[in-house]
Structure 1
Amino acid sequence: MLLKKEVLRFWRVALQTIAAPVLTSVLYLMIFGHVLSERVQVYPGVTYVAFLVPGLVMMSVLQNAFANSASSLVQSKIMGNLVFTLLTPLSAWHWFVAYVGAAVLRGLLVGVGVYVVTLLYAPPQAAAPLWVAVFALLGAGMMAVLGLLAGLWADKFDQMAVFQNFIIMPATFLAGVFYSIHSLPAVWQTLSHLNPFFYMIDGFRYGFFGVSDVSPWLSLAVAGGSLLAVTGLTLRLLHTGYKLRY
């Protein structure tokens, strides 16, 4: 029931939670694609517009999965209705599945929406569809858990905004959405390899073109390990009632 409530929460305002992020990503594609399409070719035989599509899809998945779980928990804290959920016999796992599950669903819906619209600008490509599905789920799950973690920590919206604006958004924008890291100076390439979001986007892009900046198996290991780490921490905090039971 908690999962259903969380899904209905974003679905009832789908124009804001799904349609608006799709429009934003399409605007990125139109602007960057128009300006750079004739000047940049990252992979042989792949146009810059086609190269942009997987990055924009994954960026949309990541940002919206995070926003859903984080905003839902913080909103419940501020409105004071969290106490009604605390009175139920729900375990930490129940909370985790409900908040993360709804956030993953929203992220994937936005990602599918972005991909469908971008078919108007670039032909469909899927060299390894299984990798596409794996990294989409890993990325959405990772960000949904991070959103839940941010929601547990934050007591008001401006605290959540700090987490989103100074950590999540820069990390996603600097993860190779609009470029290949091989085009960067050596120092920035090294810093990019320390960014776990880079591996999610690069592995996801591999599923489309069959080429990537690093091995998809390395990306899988980093993304999977990061997901397990934040899952363990979040479950521990949920179990102890961190900032939930005062």
Structure 2
Amino acid sequence: MEMAQGELKMGVRRFGRVNWLGLATLAKREVFRFLAVWTQTLLAPLVTAGLFLTIFTLAIGPSRGDVMGVPFVHFLAPGILTMTVIQNAFANTSSSIMISKVQGNIVDTLMPPLSPTELVVGYLAGGATRGMIVAVAIWLVMAIFVGLPLHHPLFAIAFVLLGALFIGGLGVLAGIVSQKFDHMAAITNFIITPLSFLSGTFYSVETLPQWFKVLTHLNPVFYLIDGVRYGIIGTSDSSPWLGLLVMSSVTAVVIVINWRFFKNGTKLKS
């Protein structure tokens, strides 16, 4: 008894410093959530990305020359891929927490012996996995039908993963602070969508007015899309190393904020 109390005082849990079983269970739950409805979570984004690429190619492609030294369709594809990834990563984490709060079963996640770090990792695992699967599926389809290359695969993987973690982390925050689905819709429409659309998804920032170019460089999603574009087609508007630094920094900040929310139980335990 004295030894057990001593271990608790030192912060050592009976199953170790990391609850691997609990963490794996939460991560599996988050992954199986979207796999159970794969036609909505995986097939639908693939179809949407294909429609975007088809419409822009048909409407603008014939009258548009090369962009940044590559065909317009190759320039456009990485932006559409990244936009789809971040939208799905955000939807996965935000909907999981929001639905649990509305249904009143968020306590089933908070009651088990999971630390704030394990909760953050578990939720982000689902968002990152969904984002990576969507990215691979979209690239494979585009590689087959439009000959999309992959010049720097490690950069592409790194930026897609960082993007899924960053936006997935924002999804966790949105799920925590939202009290109803209207709040979630507002965050999606007025924050996430503008961040993704006004970040060079469909155009090169070099064509923008100077003031707009400055604003774009303040948007972290710009570095994300630019980094994925570099990884796929080998060209970008800014240094990919700068993009990695920016994305790693903002992702770390979001993860720390997530950790604080889970540690304090803000809007979760009340």
TM-score by length of 1: 0.96
Runs of 4+ in 1 over 3 A off after TM superposition: none
Is 1:78 matched with 2:102? yes
Is 1:152 matched with 2:181? no
CA contact (8 A) 1:180 1:213 kept: yes
Q: In structure 1, what is the Cα distance between the partners aligned to 2:151 and 2:171?
A: 31
Is 1:245 matched with 2:269? yes
Q: In structure 2, what is the Cα distance between the partners aligned to 1:190 and 1:21?
A: 31
Q: How far off is 1:4 after superposition?
A: 1.1
Q: In structure 2, what is the Cα distance between the partners aligned to 1:81 and 1:4?
A: 17
SS for the counterpart of 1:148 is: helix
CA contact (8 A) 2:46 2:138 kept: yes
SS for the counterpart of 1:75 is: helix
Alignment of 1:10-159 (within 5 A): 10-40=34-64, 41-44=66-69, 46-159=70-183
CA contact (8 A) 1:57 1:112 kept: no
Candidates 210, 215, 220, aligned match of 2:234: 210
Q: Which runs of 5+ in 2 are unaligned?
A: 1-24
Q: Which runs of 5+ in 1 are unaligned?
A: none
SS for the counterpart of 1:121 is: helix
Q: How far off is 1:39 after superposition?
A: 2.5
Is 1:2 matched with 2:20? no
Q: In structure 2, what is the Cα distance between the partners aligned to 1:79 and 1:209?
A: 45
Q: How far off is 1:124 after superposition?
A: 3.2
Candidates 198, 202, 210, aligned match of 1:174: 198
Question: Could you report, residue by residue, the CA deviation over 1:18-48 in whole angstroms, capped at 9, with x for unpaired residues?
Answer: 111111110000000112222222122x111
> What is the RMSD computed on CA atoms of the aligned residues?
1.1
Q: How far off is 1:233 after superposition?
A: 1.1
Q: In structure 2, what is the Cα distance between the partners aligned to 1:218 and 1:119?
A: 27
Q: How far off is 1:200 after superposition?
A: 0.3
TM-score by length of 2: 0.88
Q: In structure 1, what is the Cα distance between the partners aligned to 2:207 and 2:232?
A: 20
Is 1:224 matched with 2:248? yes
